[in-house]
Amino acid sequence: DGDSETLRRAVGVAQHHDAVSGTAKQHVADDYSKRLAVGSAHCQVLVSNSLSKLSGSSVPRTYCEKLNISVCPLTESSHEFSVTVYNPLSRPVDWPVRLPVNGTHYTVTRPGGSLVDSEVVPVSQATKDIRRDGGYAANELVFQATAPPMGFSTYSVSLVQNRPPPAPPLPG
Amino acid sequence: APPVLENQYLRVTFDPDTGLLSSLTNLETKQTVQLKQNFYWYNASVGNRESIQPSGAYIFRPNSSTPVPVSLTAKTQALKNSVVQEVYQQFGPWVSQVVRLYEHSQELELEWTVGPVPVRDGFGKEVITRLDTNINSSGLFYTDSNGREVLERRRDFRPTWVLKQTEPIAGNYYPINSRIYIKDQEQQLTVVTDRSQGGSSIQDGSLEIMLHRRLLVDDFRGVGEALSEPGEYGEGLVVRGRLLLALTPPSTAAETHRRLAESLVLQPLLSVQSGPLR
């Protein structure tokens, strides 16, 4: 069962001025982080349960927590997957989605089935340098998602056959 | 050719000699600011004749008012596509940045990566990024308080007492919860942050934001540890974050930065499911 109470308590503990300003001893900072991570995991179950009911899909849902360093095992290894964008704001938002992938050409379709402009860009060297303990995506799939107010949109992503690598430059 | 990022709303240029940002243009309002952005570090004080107070977890106290540039130049690589245009900037082995402009975006994204901060030279470092513009800000800048009220900050001044400024840098630093800006009659440059940070405007037209700190001594305020989290590899933490820049007339700036800050604080939650969509 998911719940938001665990995160509520963790955030409550983290209202202490040491947590807000980052002036705690290291082992206390580690404890704040652990509490927040456990609370977040409980919330993920809650969100999954809600989205499962609303979307009618009971396929297990993954949350990519290391997108900032282009790590997401599911999108890196899947040829076909779907992305749900939940918008907590009370107005529609456009949001650039960046997903780590290893293919070079994908089709992205929005809920109605129409194609979305997307492109694949290489993962920067700086990112590769800092993710030494996991993640092997060479590229990122980028597209602009739109989500309704306090609602969600689901985009479908499929790998199109990888394009051949570019021909080497001709001498001279 | 020097890289240029451009969409229907913004145009961003880079200095061909240094690889640093050189200007930002709002194509809708036809406003351009000269904009130089670079990364610097303040040398953390370990105490001096005026005070034994070192810089530490509680106390920000650089030992000089002049920050040291991480590098005077950046190696750049540009990538221009239709959905996103990016310029990668490498300022050295421990600072890099991606300047990013999406197709329909009215703001410029700076994704900075700082760390592990080297300290083998024996200097604690407080790393900042500084944006220098030609905006005539007259000693004023603005930071928000928990996203609610944006407060005017005046350099070397407190509204309720006569200030004798003894710390020209730290004494002018203020908390940023989501945004900081400078403005003049014509234009306003707003920086929206993705986390609470510290920031200031030490010179007119300039904005600076603290990004990362790694210190070697405790500040005697109770924590009992130097601010130097070793990280998983024992060499210090790498931190990555984003700044969003908006250039607007002052009269329309609030609408822009409120929308931007909301979309960062309450950003969409992504989840992924394997297999075809059913």
Phi, psi of A11 (to 5 degrees): -70, -35
Chain B CB contacts of A82 under 8 Å are 272-273, 275-277
- Is the pLDDT assigned to residue A152 strictly greater than 50? yes
CA distances A156 to A75, A80, B273, Å, are 12, 8, 9
Q: Does A1 touch chain B (CB under 8 A)?
A: no
Please state, rounded to an integer, the average pLDDT across all residues of chain B: 94
Q: Which residue has the tokens 């992305």?
A: A83
Distance (Å, whole) CA B189 – CA B108? 11
Q: Does A116 touch chain B (CB under 8 A)?
A: no
- Is the pLDDT assigned to residue A162 strictly greater than 70? no
Q: Which of B106, B109, B113, B273 to mutate to test the interface with A (most CBs of A within 10 A)?
A: B273
pLDDT digits (tens, 9 = 90+) for B74-83: 999 999 888 9
pLDDT digits (tens, 9 = 90+) for B251-267: 999 999 999 999 999 99
- The order of strands in the sheet holding B188-193 is B75-80, B84-92, B95-102, B108-114, B239-248, B188-193, B179-183, B140-145, B149-154
pLDDT digits (tens, 9 = 90+) for B165-176: 999 999 999 999
Distance (Å, whole) CA B168 – CA B65? 7
Determine, for residues A95 and B275 on separate chains, whether the beta-carbon distance falls below 8 Å. no
Chain B CB contacts of A67 under 8 Å are 270
Q: Does A88 touch chain B (CB under 8 A)?
A: yes
Q: Does B262 touch chain A (CB under 8 A)?
A: yes
A165 confidence band (pLDDT: 50, 70, 90): low
pLDDT digits (tens, 9 = 90+) for A78-121: 999 999 999 999 999 999 999 999 999 999 999 888 999 999 99
Which residues fall within 8 angstroms of residue A17, CB to CB, at 6 or more apart? A23
pLDDT digits (tens, 9 = 90+) for A36-53: 999 999 999 999 999 999
Chain B CB contacts of A29 under 8 Å are 229
- How many contacts (CB atoms, under 8 Å) link A and B? 134
Segment holding B75, helix H or strand E: strand B75-80
Determine, for residues A61 and B262 on separate chains, whether the beta-carbon distance falls below 8 Å. no
A172 confidence band (pLDDT: 50, 70, 90): very low
- Is the pLDDT assigned to residue B277 strictly greater than 90? no
Long-range contacts of B258-267 (CB under 8 A, 24+ apart): B260/B107, B260/B179, B260/B190, B260/B192, B261/B144, B261/B147, B261/B178, B261/B179, B261/B192, B262/A89, B263/A89, B263/A93, B263/A95, B264/B178, B264/B192, B264/B193, B264/B194, B265/B147, B265/B178, B266/A88, B266/A89, B267/A95
Q: Does A122 touch chain B (CB under 8 A)?
A: yes
Determine, for residues A126 and B271 on separate chains, whether the beta-carbon distance falls below 8 Å. no
Determine, for residues A84 and B270 on separate chains, whether the beta-carbon distance falls below 8 Å. yes
Q: Does B104 touch chain A (CB under 8 A)?
A: yes
Q: Does B83 touch chain A (CB under 8 A)?
A: yes
Q: Residue A27, SS3? A: helix
Helices (H), chain B: 250-265
* Token couple for A76: 């890196």
- Is the pLDDT assigned to residue A169 strictly greater than 70? no
Please state, rounded to an integer, the average pLDDT across all residues of chain A: 91
Chain B CB contacts of A24 under 8 Å are 223
Strands B197-200, B206-214: parallel, antiparallel or unpaired by DSSP?
Answer: antiparallel
Q: Does B270 touch chain A (CB under 8 A)?
A: yes
Q: How far is B148 from chain A (nearest CA, A)?
A: 17
Across the interface, of B233, B238, B277, the residue whose CB is closest to A154 is B277
Phi, psi of B5 (to 5 degrees): -105, 135
In chain A, the residue whose alpha carbon lies closest to the alpha carbon of B237 is A130
